[in-house]
Amino acid sequence: MTEEQTRVRTYPPPEEFAARANVRDAGIYEEAARDPEAFWAGRARRLHWFREWDEVLRWDPPEVQWFVGGKINASYNCLDYQVEQGRGEKTAIIWEGDEPGDTRTLTYSELKAEVEKFANVLKSLGVRRGDPVSIYLPMIPELPIAMLACARIGAPHSVVFGAFSANSLRDRINDCEARVLVTADSGPRGGKRTPLKANSDEALEDAPSVENVVVVRRTGDDVSMVEGRDHWWHELMAGADPECPAEEMDSEDILYILYSSGSTGKPKGIVHTTGGYLTHVNTTTDWVFDLKEDDIYWCTADIGWVTGHSYIVYGPLSNGATVLMFEGTPAYPASDRWWDIIERHRVNILYTAPTAIRAFMKQGTADIEKHDLSSLRLLGSVGEPINPRAWEWYHEHVGGGRCPVVDTWWQTETGGIMITPLPGITTTKPGSATRPFPGIFAGIYDDAGNEIEGEGSGNLVIKRPWPGMLRTLYKDPQRYRETYWEKYGDVYFAGDGARRDEDGYFWITGRVDDVINVSGHRISTAEVESALVGHPSVAEAAVIGRHDEETGQAIVAYVILEGGHEGNDEMAQELRQQVRKVIGAHARPQEIIFTPDLPKTRSGKIMRRILRRLSEGQEDLGDTTTLADPSVVETLRAHAGGRS
């Protein structure tokens, strides 16, 4: 029996919590199911629209439009509309830097003023409605300021996570042909610094679309500034016009592009538009996190990933929340940093990833016991399946046994949370994301395309369009169609496996494609393989995700060297460095196994399933009859001894 099947304990919402929850009536599920369009339209009305839509939904699979004809601006909703509702003096962002004590707060009025000025800076650099802007910044207030400034003038932003290499940055800039790049001198994290400007300079050697670079002085590190191209943020801001009214955008205008890994080497430019996306993240933030006016809300993700876009920036700010934003890591300068932050800022809501929880679990509870975490009221989890033991540890030790835990399943593509408990209603089961959010229709299909009703396992699908749905892949509608819609027609194929239990609860089992999830970061096996074979000594490489107690999955690379050379530790180090350089540090293989051969089918396809089982030390490799050369298994077993 697996860990999850032996569990019997369930957790009904604590009475006191349920009594004052934002959603108390379970009838909302039925109401939304009866008329999903009316349900979402009702939710959209919480936002500010310059003009209401003519039609709620236009669905011509796989093309979707929500709130057709509506005029809206995301930046207006996150700023002006909040000020209009009396939140001008309310704190929008509490920022905590990498060094303890380095903090900054911005009220909604202050944030609005910064955003308006930076929007004018972008305009003065020639950015017009529809022109993508690339942003490569650390977790500092200038990051949401730049994003909201783009949204204000209708320029789609493309945020690139700070750990990505120069090479990855260049590809992302070139794909969307940004004319402006916003970056910083360097980014501090955990006492170390990422040379963002130097990486940008390297990327720009081969990114001809970029005409202007805006550089935030974050650390004061020495950087080279190219005359005419590079400008200091603070200098441009000092001369910027303070007023920039928000553009009336069409509901379906692009709000942002965010690159994510797919099952081929090339990252996918996931496109989100404005009205539907904002409706989705606004409502899910309110209902899933049970946000209250005085809450201090902390999502530990980096804004460079979708979780930060939706649940640090657009969801919470469009609800007028006070958002804590942290630049550093859990372990710097000491292993109790997070608990110290929660205690000092009296954080009420914590949204984080299972991998962090498992890392804390390993350290024991001493750090937690040193701090007063009684302000916490609700805990969230996202990014990968949370195993029941980690769930319970989170509930008991971080939440003191009193906070509901919401395990939220969603993806960059879905824009917002899709399967989740509603904390005042749902009885949770550790390890299950429970039920689809009201107005979301999830299902399970088998490989042949038959829907599995009731209990059973298969591929997770979404059966009807939802407001936060990706609209396409940037400049690649064909790949959009193939990746998500070819398998099942007008049903969205999520790429995850799932099981539904006797109560209709969903248990997400992980990716069914060639995407690995390491510490909640999506990494494509093909991308790592292509980085490895880019090294002159590598003839061939196969990459798999091996189960890992802490990070969920760990990257294992099987490598064949040119000319049959034997590998050694030095070569393994060099190859890790190669992956770091081509993709970024987060994609480095944990283990590199040199081998003279790989398991392939007769048509030459690498059988990763066999490598996965071998790497986990399993005796049973499953069906090996399709192997072109069955003796390869013994060769691999012999070489696994020589792992690096």
Annotated binding residues for CoA, written as ranges, equal: 189-192, 307, 519, 580
- Of 82 and 352, which has the nearer Cβ to ligand WTA? 352
- Quote the tokens at residue 33: 């199911």
Pairing of strands 71-72, 249-250: antiparallel
Selected range binding ligand WTA among 100-108, 139-147, 289-297, 378-386, rule: CB under 6 A: 378-386
CB 522, min distance to ligand WTA, A: 5
Q: What is residue 416's three-state secondary structure? A: coil
CB 353, min distance to ligand WTA, A: 9
Q: Is 260 in the site for ligand WTA (CB under 6 A)?
A: yes
Annotated binding-site residues for Mg(2+) read: 533, 535, 538
Which residue in 183, 200, 300, 411 binds ligand WTA (CB under 6 A)? 411
CB 251, min distance to ligand WTA, A: 23
Cα→Cα distances 249→153, 275, 371, Å: 9, 9, 46
- Of 296 and 301, which has the nearer Cβ to ligand WTA? 301
Q: Is 64 in the site for ligand WTA (CB under 6 A)?
A: no
Q: Is 136 in the site for ligand WTA (CB under 6 A)?
A: no
Which residue in 304, 383, 436, 468 binds ligand WTA (CB under 6 A)? 383
Which residue in 407, 514, 527, 529 binds ligand WTA (CB under 6 A)? 407
Cα→Cα distances 643→518, 530, 556, 566, 568, Å: 20, 21, 10, 11, 9
CB 22, min distance to ligand WTA, A: 21
Cα→Cα distances 284→287, 289, 460, Å: 5, 8, 20
Q: Is 433 in the site for ligand WTA (CB under 6 A)?
A: yes
CB 384, min distance to ligand WTA, A: 5
- Of 282 and 411, which has the nearer Cβ to ligand WTA? 411
- Of 265 and 510, which has the nearer Cβ to ligand WTA? 510
- Of 77 and 517, which has the nearer Cβ to ligand WTA? 517
Q: What is the DSSP letter of 427?
A: P
Cα→Cα distances 189→35, 181, 192, 300, 494, Å: 47, 21, 5, 13, 33
- Of 42 and 510, which has the nearer Cβ to ligand WTA? 510
Question: What gap in Å lies between CA 134 and CA 643, rounded to an integer?
Answer: 40
User: Could you tell me if residue 418 is left (phi over 0), alpha (psi between -120 and 50 degrees) or otherwise beta?
Assistant: alpha
Which residue in 168, 186, 387, 408 binds ligand WTA (CB under 6 A)? 408
- Of 382 and 636, which has the nearer Cβ to ligand WTA? 382
Selected range binding ligand WTA among 47-55, 366-374, 406-414, 580-588, rule: CB under 6 A: 406-414
Selected range binding ligand WTA among 304-312, 395-403, 423-431, 628-636, rule: CB under 6 A: 304-312
Task: Return the residue nearest ligand WTA (CB atom).
Answer: 412
Q: Is 309 in the site for ligand WTA (CB under 6 A)?
A: no
Q: What is the DSSP letter of 164?
A: B
Annotated binding-site residues read: 189-192, 307, 383-385, 407-412, 496, 511, 519, 522, 533, 535, 538, 580
- Quote the tokens at residue 383: 């990014």
Which residue in 307, 352, 428, 434 binds ligand WTA (CB under 6 A)? 307
Q: Is 412 in the site for ligand WTA (CB under 6 A)?
A: yes
- Of 186 and 307, which has the nearer Cβ to ligand WTA? 307
Closest CA to 469 of 510, 412, 523, 408: 412
Selected range binding ligand WTA among 71-79, 98-106, 285-293, 300-308, rule: CB under 6 A: 300-308
Closest CA to 161 of 183, 180, 141: 183
Q: What is residue 320's three-state secondary structure? A: coil
- Of 133 and 306, which has the nearer Cβ to ligand WTA? 306
Number of residues that bind ligand WTA (CB under 6 A): 22
- Of 195 and 510, which has the nearer Cβ to ligand WTA? 510
Question: How many other CB atoms sit within 10 Å of the CB of residue 586?
Answer: 15
Question: How many other CB atoms sit within 10 Å of the CB of residue 534?
Answer: 14
Degrees to nearest 5, angle at CA 548 with 547 and 550: 150
Annotated binding-site residues for ATP read: 383-385, 407-412, 496, 511, 522
Contacts of 355 (CB under 8 A, 6+ apart): 383, 384, 519, 520, 550, 551, 552
Residue by residue, DSSP assigns 467-503 as: TT---EETT-HHHHHHHHTTTTSSSEEEEEEEEE-TT
- Quote the tokens at residue 395: 């509930």
Q: Is 284 in the site for ligand WTA (CB under 6 A)?
A: no
Selected range binding ligand WTA among 368-376, 404-412, 485-493, 629-637, rule: CB under 6 A: 404-412
Q: Which of residues 487-546 bind ligand WTA (CB under 6 A)?
A: 495-496, 508, 510-511, 517, 522
Selected range binding ligand WTA among 158-166, 279-287, 379-387, 554-562, rule: CB under 6 A: 379-387
Question: How many other CB atoms sit within 10 Å of the CB of residue 497?
Answer: 18
Question: What gap in Å lies between CA 227 and CA 220, rounded to an integer?
Answer: 19
Q: Is 384 in the site for ligand WTA (CB under 6 A)?
A: yes
Q: Do residues 273 and 255 make contact, with C-beta atoms less than 8 angstroms apart?
A: yes
Question: What gap in Å lies between CA 575 and CA 443, rounded to an integer?
Answer: 41
Footprint of ligand WTA (CB under 6 A): 260, 305-307, 382-385, 407-412, 433, 495-496, 508, 510-511, 517, 522
